Amino acid sequence: EHLIDQIKAGEVVERPANVLKELLENSIDANSSKVRVTILNNGLDLIAIEDNGDGMFFDELPYAFCRHATSKINNFEDIYRLNTFGFRGEALASISSVARISCHSAPRANPEQGAKFVIHGAQTVEHSKYASHKCGTSTYVKDLFFNTPVRLKFVKSGQSEKNALKRVINSFLINYPHVEFAITWEDNDPEIYRAQDDIKTRIGEIFKKKSRKHRPEIFDTDGEYLGSHCKMYISKDSSKGYSGKQQYLFVNNRLFTDKKLHQIIIRNMEKIWQPGQTGDYIMQLHVPENEIDVNVHPNKTIIKFLKANEIFSLTSATAKKLISENED
């Protein structure tokens, strides 16, 4: 029974960044307006998420750690979402089978009726009362892969884990500008990202390079084609090489990678970047859920578009529009 849990967990939880993504998604789903993130030892020692969202009642909390215990499938559209992004209602169960989790939660309706729940490697350690003045959920994932040494060994170098964690955090910063985030890495001071009405302010913070004082100029535009939408943000700054580049593709708020779409954007932006250089970009696609391939793994960030040529056309047209709108 435990072995099966651990094998299943391996499908969802390959590395710390997967845990972070699932926990942040839950906080967003719970309507949080403030989220604090703390990461120690690149997520292997601690990934802590504290939110001010809807919270859970005493009886609900243990159930959140049971397989298939999702509260989120209510209608037909949700089933598309389920098929599209794979496992639903499995994340907390999977994570709890390969880590030591301590969670306390207080429901919005009555924050005094909350609970604390502790679970180590799928074994419940504690379920006790927790009374608070404000609603929200705090989840502490400690000692990730403590009981799966092979998995622990395969987690890559510190820097590559850190980059993966940063990419997850930036994805949420970009897609949820109205949410305030406080991010603490190791023993450093928290990085605060205030809630923004204007997504461009948030994107400016992400595109800003530590080595340069100024905020980069950002070009943006949008496009629409046959029921799909596209928003594009491009930093005017460019530089050589690939390290430290902020380049993101999203479909329906989910991060994915696609070489062809990347190439379309890079080629069109040659007109604004310095010769031989590239810069930061963000593209947010919104595509009907039933026009995305249903057989993709939640952690493989590859998406198959059923109308791929239309998406290529939309991307190319939007890139050209952005250039023509910003020609000197």
| Contacting residues toward Mg ion, per CB under 5 A | 26, 91
| Binding of ligand ADP by 54 (CB under 6 A) | yes
| Binding of ligand ADP by 26 (CB under 6 A) | yes
**167, interface contact from Mg ion, ligand ADP, none, CB < 5-8 Å by kind:** none
Name the minimum Å distance from CB 311 to ligand ADP: 26
Determine which residue in the list 92, 218, 285, 322 makes contact with ligand ADP, applying CB under 6 A. Answer: 92
Determine which residue in the list 2, 33, 72, 79 makes contact with ligand ADP, applying CB under 6 A. Answer: 72
Identify which of residues 88 and 167 has a Cβ nearer to Mg ion in the complex.
Answer: 88
With vertex at residue 16, the alpha carbon angle to CA 10 and CA 19, rounded to the nearest 5 degrees, is 75
Name the minimum Å distance from CB 276 to ligand ADP: 44
- Rounded-to-integer distance, Cα 55 and Cα 50, Å: 11
Q: What is the DSSP string of 76-105?
A: HHHHHHHHHH---S-HHHHHHHSSEEEEEE
| Binding of ligand ADP by 89 (CB under 6 A) | yes
Give me the amino acid identity at 6: Q
- Total residue length of the chain: 328
- Rounded-to-integer distance, Cα 193 and Cα 178, Å: 10
Identify which of residues 108 and 321 has a Cβ nearer to ligand ADP in the complex.
Answer: 108
- Rounded-to-integer distance, Cα 93 and Cα 9, Å: 8
| DSSP conformation class of 122 | T
**272, interface contact from Mg ion, ligand ADP, none, CB < 5-8 Å by kind:** none
User: Which ranges constitute the DSSP H helices of 13-157?
Assistant: 16-29, 60-63, 76-85, 91-97, 149-154
| Binding of ligand ADP by 91 (CB under 6 A) | yes
Name the minimum Å distance from CB 259 to Mg ion: 29
Binding site for ligand ADP (CB under 6 A): 22, 26-27, 30, 51, 53-56, 64, 69-72, 88-93, 137
